[in-house]
Amino acid sequence: MKNVSVIGATGYSGGELLRYLARHLGVRVSHVTSEKSVGQKISSFHTDLLGKMDLVLVKNDPDKISKDSGLVFLCLPHAESAAWAKQYLDRGVKVIDLSADFRLKDPQSYEKWYKTEPPPSNLLAQAVYGLPEIYRHKIKRAKLVANPGCYSTVSILTALPLIKKGWAKKGAVVIDAKSGVSGAGRKIESRYLFCETHENFLAYSVTGHRHLPEIEQELKTQVTFVPHLLPVNRGILATVYAKLSKKISAKELHEVYAEFYKEETFVKVLDEGRFPELKSVQHTNFCHIGVGLDPQRETAILVGVIDNLGKGAAGQAVENMNLVFGFKEEMGLK
């Protein structure tokens, strides 16, 4: 049995993570932390945990928490995780960070997009980008894992086989993505109130979202990325449009995707002519992908869906933890 702790446990990602961990047979949650709600039970914030996990929230104290934690999950705001990650790493504790602090390998890019000083270069160098479908073997040996962003996860997985094959024209990839409201986190802002989101639909960060450099870093190509806010609680649907560099058939395109993901537990390519929907992946760690082709316009049309709190955050964090600890990758996730 491995001991883990969740730092910053009262938000949506922290709550989803605890739901997965509560049913995981290989770990025990030692501590849950909050700076503002010390002394309260975690089940008072995530009421579905009542009777399953009634831990009391404590302050984030690396000296105490490190004594009985082999790994910590950092569910903290961007620019706050790096300093805590160092303290836990210095005490021999492995770290899975759900913020963006270690996702971008270029310090200048981080500073540009997050408007703050980048993490120390030695930490950036040892951080492994936590997308198992690409970096599984590195994650198994990692002490610090940078859990990918939600938009980034679905966009990369949906576009990757086509990009790897070299069938997309350079600079001709467009990603049109829509996310549920929980993707914004558990915060109070007028644009996320029920009356503002219900029966509404909007694009935001149209000329540059923070996940764009992360997507381009992993796909190693330039893309146009536009996110939208869906009036639903959870889930992301991303449609990738890619101009093709050569003539191919719909059958060839589908075969490439089916072959690329045939050994993957959590990425499922649908049958030819079928496309995924949010309800199929909500509350799971799965990514479903549908593959289409517009031959007249020589354009691949690829549709991917994930749960932004599952494969887009907490589920993928547990998947990474399983790899780090040497558990079966699907443990606690099916």
The C-alpha angle with vertex 284 and arms to 19 and 10, in degrees rounded to 5, equals 35
The Cα-based distances of 137 to 128, 130, 142, 145, 153 in angstroms read 10, 11, 9, 12, 18
d(CA 143, CA 299): 41
- Which residues participate in catalysis according to the annotation? 150
Q: What is the 3-state secondary structure (H, E, C) of 32-50?
A: EECCCCCCCEHHHCCHHHC
Dig out the tokens for 333 from the structure.
């996730």
**99 touches 78 (CB < 8 A):** yes
d(CA 163, CA 156): 10
Per DSSP, the three-state class of 16 is: helix
Minimal CA–CA distance to 155: which of 96, 76, 236? 236
Q: For residue 311, give the DSSP letter.
A: I
Helix ranges (H only) for 95-200 are: 107-114, 121-126, 132-140, 150-165, 194-197
Minimal CA–CA distance to 178: which of 162, 165, 197? 197
